[in-house]
Structure formats: structure tokens, C-alpha cells
Amino acid sequence: MPRLFWKVSRSLTERTLPTGQFPLRLAMALPMTVQPVPIAVAAFYRFHRLMDLPGLRSALQELCEAKGVRGILLLAPEGFNGTLAGEPQALDAVLAGIRAHTGAAAFEVKFSSTAKPPFRRLKVRIKKEIVTIGVPSVDPVAVVGTYVEPQDWNALIADPDMLLIDTRNAYEVAIGTFDGALNPETRSFGEFPAYVRNTLDPARHRKVAMFCTGGIRCEKASSFMLAQGFEQVFHLKGGILNYLETVPETESRWSGGCFVFDERVAVGHGLEVQPVRFCLSCNTPLDATALASSGYEDGVSCPACVARLTDQQKASARERQRQVELAAKRGGRHLGPRG
């Protein structure tokens, strides 16, 4: 129900009345709907040497909480990676604080907006890597592939000698990808090095172009591939999100939606939210066939995971779903387990 404010007739309010008295008649008031402030969403990362991670975590956690900003912020010796959401001014203040506390004065931020908060809580975590590839020698601060601006991407991948690779996980690729891209069928980014070693050959694949959601995985993937002897490695600057925001849909080589790691699930051209559902147990996108399958149970399982889930896992998921439904009936939201 929108909040209502009532206009009082100016002629009545301007009359001189004895102190403590109010007009007995008010002009007919017109309801004014207060438009909700859109929630700003910022996706960003930076490979940048960080020190005193516990102190940095404490300072940034306190700042985000004070500004009412929620989301995920990962800190590691190699840099930071986050997606945060809040009111625009609050989010700007937090980003300014991250620049000040980390010493990384410049890093690209991809902004979007949504009507509903995409995160239920704030998580500021310390990790070994801000995106896990599992190869300690990989160092994007030292060397990365060649950045390609979104407006130049179509011409690059039109080269018949260019090998185009989607570095994301299989469940992300299932929602959408670039035409003609290879799908490594990885379940996590940590499997990408094995895919390269077992499938690709620097002698045959001399020109490689790769892409990911916002660019961070490609920085590590390109650094790894250059170390493996691949001569020319290109990656989409700012990732798919930058491309979808920059390149007109009429000129786009992208098909489908781009999976994002919040409650929007997927976005398309112009970063508009796409109507996609996914399994809460395994993150597999769900089409009409999956939703009609006997293996699908709302909030519990889908055909991709029903056989491997234990009875205990299914029972836990059913209880979670029951709490979600109860919270919805009360008009609230179930936050789920804390982690």
C-alpha cells in the first residue's frame, strides 16, 4: 500500500486562527503517491595489493552497515571483488570509502538499478583469492591479456581464426552466451585450468578471445593462458554486463540472459531484468520442461540435482521453502541460513 500525503487548501492554512485552534473544514485533499527510491546496484573489482585484511574488513563492514548497503564484498591479498546495493547516495559513499581504505583510487564500477533490494544481508569476507582459479602463480597484477572495448568486440569475434571461449560455469552459459562461443562445461572456475590443459593447444589456437560476467574471471584466465604459451589472448573489457549496456540490441551478437549473482537472476540488453527461474539447490536454470518434470519440487530440487540430493538435504530444503512461504504470507522475507 503506497503511503499517502494530503494537501491542505492553501486558503485555509493561510487564515489567521487563534493559537491552538485548527480549521473545522479542510478542502478535499488529493492523495499523492510517494515514488520509491530505486535501488542502485554496483558491480566492481580491482586486482590491487591489499594489506591488513582484518582491519580493512572491519572498516568496510562498519561503513556499509552505517549506510544501509547490502551485498557481497570479497577481500584478498590480490584485491577486492564485490556487488553491493543500496540507495544511490549511500552506495556512492561506500564506493568512496573503498577507494580511500584500499588505496585503489581508480576502478571501474558497473551500475544498474532495480525496484527491489537484490540482497538480503551484507557479507564482507576475507578469501585467498577474490575469484578462485586455484593456480598460485597466476598474477593479473603482473600480466593479463588484451582488453577489447564492447564496441570493438563484434569485429574481433567475427575473425574466423579466433577461438571464442565462455569462461563462466555451465549453469550460467545455459541462460545465454555469445553466438559461436565454446562452453567449457565447468562447474566452477577452478576447473578452467584443467579444461585449457586438456582441450586447447597453443600451437593450434593462436588467437583466443574470452568473456565472463564482469571481466574479473577473464583477467585471471587470460593471465593463466599467457603463462601456458598462448600468443594472443583477448578479453571483453567490463565483461558481458558492459557489452549489454553499451552495444545496441540490433547490433548484438549476444543471445539470452546474463546470469547475475543476486535475486535478479539474469539481465539482458540495457541490463533489464530477465524472467528466469533457477533451482535453489543447484542453480540450474529452469525451463518449462524442467518445471513440469517429476524431479522438480519448488525450492527443493530439479531434474539436474534430484538424484544426487540426500534425504537430509531435501528435508532441509523443504523446511527452508516452508519458512519462505510463511514469510511471504506475513508480507515479509525469509533471510535463510546465515553463512
* Percentage with pLDDT > 70 across the chain: 86
Predicted confidence at residue 110, as pLDDT, reads 85
Give catalytic residue positions: 212
Written in H, E and C, the secondary structure of 78-112 is CEEEEEEEECHHHHHHHHHHHHHHHCCCCCCEEEE
Residues 38-51: pLDDT tens digits?
899 998 999 999 99
Predicted confidence at residue 189, as pLDDT, reads 96
| Residue stretches of the chain with pLDDT short of 50 | 1-31, 34, 334-339
Predicted confidence at residue 36, as pLDDT, reads 61
CA distances from 39 to 88, 119, 237 (A): 7, 11, 25
